[in-house]
Amino acid sequence: MQFVPRSEWGAPASSPAASIASTRGVKIHYLGTVYSSREHARCADYVRSIRASHLANTREGYVDIAYNAVVCEHGAVFEGRGAHKRSGANGTRALNEQHYAVMALLGSSGLTEPPEAMLHGLRDAIEWLRRDGAAGDEVLGHRDGHPTACPGEPLYAWVQAGAPRPGGDQPQAGRGDEVEPTPQVARYQTTINGLAYGYGARGDHVTQVGRALVAKGLGEHYRVGPGPVWSDADTRNYASWQRSLGYSGADADGVPGETSLRRLLGTLPSARPTVDLSRLVAAARQDPPKSGAPVSYSGVETVEAALVAEGLLPRRYADGHFGTATIRAYAAWQRRCGYTGQAADGIPGRDSLTRLGQRHNFDVTP
Ligand SMILES: [Zn+2]
Ligand SMILES: [Zn+2]
C-alpha cells in the first residue's frame, strides 16, 4: 500500500485523540462536498486543509482530523488519527468507539465515482486497520446507524457488495466474514548498514529501492508506485530483481541481501548521512555569488544543520545554499578546529569536515 504517515503530510507525528483498543470494524465516509480530480502532488495539501478545518470547528471540539485515514483517488492512504485512536467522524461517541472512520476523497459533485485505485486504497486502509489497529471484520457506511447520505451512492454500493478489491482474484466472502488470504510472500525484515528492509520497514531508503526497481522495469507489482513503507509489492518486485541476478529459492524471496542491494543501487544506503567532500567544496565555491540560486548539492543541508547546532550559523541561513553566511560559519568552525589564516577560509577541508561529522553524525566521502 502507498501509506503516507502523518509526519509526511504535515501533521504532528501522533494524534492527540483518545486511544482505543479495538473496534468492530471500519465505517466508510466520503467528502460529500464539491471535489474535483487533481494531481497526486496536491492531495497532501487537501488532507492538510481538512485537518485545519476540523481543528477550526469549535462546535465539534475536534482535537485532530476526524478520520483514522483518508484515501485519495490515486490510492494513497493518508494516516489520519491512525490505528488505535477513537475516530471523530461517525456521529456519536458510541459510534466512534465502535468503528474506525476511513474517508475517501470523493465529492457529491465533481469527482463522484470512485476510481479503481481509490477502492484499492480503501481496501489497503481497511486491512491496515485490521492488522495494526485490531479492527473487526465489519465494513459499513457512515449512513449505517446514523442519518446521513455519506458515503454517497456509488461508494455505498461498493460497501454493500462487501468492499471488494477491484479485479479481485481473491474469494469475496459476504460482508463481515471476509477471509484474508495467507500471504505467499516473505514477511520478515533484515538490517543492512543500520537500515531495515522487508515487510513493514519504512523510510526514504525504502522509496529509493522501489524507484530503482521501477527504473529497472521491475515495478509490475506496484499499483500506485513505490512509497516509504515496504509492502508485499516491494517484496515481489525485489524477488524479480533477485531472480534476474540468478538467485533462486530462499535467496530470491524478495528480502534484500547486501550484494543484490548494492547492485541495484550502486551503493549501500547508510543510516548515517554521507557528505561528499568534493561536491561540498564545489558548492562552497559556486554558491556564494548565486544568492537565491537552486540548491546545488543536498549534502550542504547536512553541514549547515551541524553548523546551526554548533551555534555558528543562524538557522535562517540553513537553506541548502552554501552562501556567504555559511562560508563565514564554516570559517569559524575551522578556527575552532585550530586553523588560522588561509586554512580557515570557510572552504571545507577533510579534517575539519570529518570532525564536524563526528560531532553531528554524518560520514564524509569519498
Ligand atoms: Zn461520513
Ligand atoms: Zn492522490
Average pLDDT per 10 consecutive residues for the chain, totaling 366 residues: 94 94 97 92 95 87 94 96 96 95 95 94 97 95 92 93 77 43 73 88 88 91 81 93 92 94 90 88 81 71 93 90 93 96 95 93 85
First-last CA distance in the chain? 36
**Shared domain check, 218 and 325:** no
In 2-59, DSSP assigns E strands to 3-4, 23-30, 34-35
The closest alpha carbon to 234, from 221, 246, 245, belongs to: 221
98 CA from centroid of ligand 1 (Å): 14
Whether 175 is in a domain gets the answer: no
Question: Ligand 1 centre and the CA of 147: distance in Å?
Answer: 10
Answer yes or no: do 88 and 155 share one domain.
yes
Q: Is residue 179 part of a domain?
A: no
Residue 102's H or E segment, with its range, is strand 99-104
The answer to the question of residue 183 being in a domain is no
CA distance 185 to 255: 10
- 84 CA to centre of ligand 1 in angstroms: 19
Distance 46 CA to ligand 1 centre (A): 17
Whether 202 and 332 share a structural domain: no
Pairing between β-strand 109-110 and β-strand 77-79 as defined by DSSP bridges: unpaired
Q: Would you mind telling me the total number of residues written for the chain in this entry?
A: 366
Contact between residue 103 and residue 69 where contact means Cβ atoms under 8 Å apart = yes
Instruction: Say how many domains are in the chain.
Output: 3
Distance CA 28, CA 185 (A): 29
Q: Which ligand is nearest to the CA of 40?
A: 2
Name which of 206, 204, 310 is nearest 261 in CA terms.
206
Q: Taking a C-beta distance cutoff of 8 angstroms, is the pair 126, 26 a contact?
A: yes
Q: Please check whether residue 171 lies inside any domain of the structure.
A: no
Could you tell me the three cell numbers for 291?
544568492
Check residue 344 and report its DSSP letter. Answer: G
CA of 152 from ligand 1 middle (Å) equals 9
What residue type is assigned to position 160 of the chain? Q
Whether residues 113 and 220 share a domain: the answer is no
Residue 174: its pLDDT value, please? Answer: 40
Q: Are residues 320 and 258 in the same domain?
A: no
| CATH assignment at residue 73 | 3.40.80.10
In angstroms, what is the span from residue 31 Cα to ligand 2's centroid? 14
What was the pLDDT predicted at 171?
Answer: 39
C-alpha cell at 316: 535562517
Looking at the fold, whether 237 and 293 belong to one and the same domain comes out as no
CB of 235 closer than 8 Å to CB of 197: no
For residue 70, the ligand closest to its alpha carbon is: 2
**Whether residues 259 and 280 fall in one domain:** no
Does residue 89 lie in a domain region?
yes
Do 255 and 280 share a domain, yes or no? no
Task: Report whether 221 contacts 297 (CB < 8 A).
Answer: no
- As a whole number of angstroms, the distance between CA 344 and CA 330 comes to 8
Give residue 290's pLDDT: 63
**111 and 21 fall within a common domain:** yes
Domain boundary among 212, 236, 265: 265
Residue 16 is which amino acid?
Answer: P
The residue segments making up the domain with residue 196 are 189-265
Estimate the share of the chain in helix, then strand, then coil, as percent rounded to the nearest 5: 40, 15, 50
Look at strands 189-192 and 195-198 and give their pairing.
antiparallel
Give a yes or no: residue 248 inside a domain: yes
DSSP category for residue 73: T
The residues, any chain, with a CB within 8 Å of residue 176's CB and separated by 6 or more, are 25, 137, 138, 139
User: What pLDDT was estimated at residue 65?
Assistant: 96
Asked whether residue 135 is domain-assigned, the answer is: yes
How many Å lie between the centroid of ligand 2 and the Cα of residue 126? Answer: 18
- Taking residue 212's Cβ as centre, other Cβ atoms within 10 Å add up to 19
Could you tell me if 20 and 114 lie in one domain? Answer: yes
Domain identity same for 200 and 136:
no
Inside any domain, residue 173: no
Q: How far apart, in whole angstroms, are the C-alpha atoms of residue 162 and residue 64?
A: 29
> Which of 125-164 are b and which e, b meaning 16 or more Cβ less than 10 Å from the residue's Cβ?
bbbbbbeebebbbbbbbbbbbeeeebbbeebbebbeeebb
Ligand (nearest to CA of 117): 2
Ligand nearest to the CA of 38: 2
Distance (Å, rounded) from C-alpha 25 to C-alpha 129?
A: 8
Query: Which ligand has the shortest distance to the CA of 147?
Result: 1
